[in-house]
Copies of this chain bind each other. A is one copy, B any other.
Amino acid sequence: MNGRFAISMHILTLLAKANGEWLTSEFIAGSININPVLVRKEISNLRNRGLVVSREGKNGGSALAKPASQIQVSDVFLATRQGPFLGSSRNTPNPACPVGRQINKHLDNLYQEAEVALIQKLGDSTLDEFSRRFD
């Protein structure tokens, strides 16, 4: 995972504990201690994924699109992962070498297997469970 996963989990945890209140990006940014624009960018992504809803204008803000018990941690992982998860092979190995020619294909297979296992694991827990861990 990357920093975006942490930011998204933080946002979603705040929303889960907000009890129907619409939180502003500025308030959320104050808790995470980052710039409100970054929060809005992440929320935009979560909204596209159907996890969050927002409203513009005065008294605007964001809220969960569905109960926290229906949001799995794996949903957040999938929403924030970029590309093939495990750093992907951005090498362009030598095609004249038998290993170089095939390594990316085999690594991609490996990554995918690993990712499936990880998603399964993260699918076990929900945002509701996660947010209840806080005092």
Contact = CB atoms under 8 A, between A and B. Distances in A.
Interface of chain A: mostly helix, strand, loop or mixed: helix
Given A1-B86, A117-B117, A91 B7 contact: yes
A125 B106 CA distance: 13
Contacts of A121: 113-114, 117-118
B117 A134 contact: no
Given A87-B3, A107-B9, A135 B102 contact: yes
A10 B135 contact: no
Determine the interface band of chain A, counting residues with CB < 8 A from chain B.
Answer: 35 or more
Interface of A: 1-3, 5-7, 9-10, 13-14, 17, 30-34, 73, 85-94, 97-100, 102-103, 106-107, 109-111, 113-114, 117-118, 120-122, 125, 130, 133-135
